[in-house]
């Protein structure tokens, strides 16, 4: 007999919190449940989209983040995959597949 698990909320270490929040919140539609401060440049954020939740945490402490992501740290996450369940797979496909996401000045932009 196991425990009664009601859900799972993965914690993802991110290089750039404002860019990550923009993608999950503004592109995918997650809402903010809580954050460690005001604005988008915070240490952690808890997001929710329906029954799905996700926690983001900065990979570096304040003042310690390098200008560019460390390739070794990025490669270490090569086995990390988030599967998103949705009610209307065809609508999600129509929304996401035609897009090209480009990062401009640290922000994700959707172009079609």
pLDDT of residue 55: 96
Question: Any idea which residue has 């983001």 for tokens?
Answer: 56
Which domains can be identified in the chain, with CATH numbers? 11-60+88-111 (3.10.180.10)
CA dihedral over 39, 54, 68, 107, signed as positive or negative: negative
pLDDT tens track of the chain, all 112 residues?
787 778 889 999 999 999 899 889 988 899 999 999 999 999 999 999 998 999 999 988 888 888 888 888 777 776 677 777 778 888 887 877 766 565 544 555 555 5
* pTM metric for this prediction: 0.74
Question: How many other β-carbons are positioned within 10 Å of the β-carbon of residue 100?
Answer: 8
pLDDT of residue 31: 97
pLDDT of residue 99: 65
pLDDT of residue 84: 76
pLDDT of residue 108: 56
pLDDT of residue 75: 76
């Amino acid at each position: 007999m196991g425990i009664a698990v009601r859900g799972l909320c993965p914690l993802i270490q991110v290089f750039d919190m404002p860019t990550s929040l923009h993608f999950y919140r503004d592109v995918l539609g997650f809402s903010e449940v809580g954050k460690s401060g005001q604005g988008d440049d915070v240490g952690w954020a808890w997001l929710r989209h329906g029954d799905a939740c996700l926690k983001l945490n900065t990979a570096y402490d304040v003042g310690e983040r390098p200008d560019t992501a460390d390739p070794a740290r990025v490669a270490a996450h090569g086995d990390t995959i988030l599967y998103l369940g949705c009610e209307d797979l065809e609508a999600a496909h129509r929304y996401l597949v035609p897009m090209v996401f480009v990062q401009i000045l640290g922000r994700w932009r959707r172009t079609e």
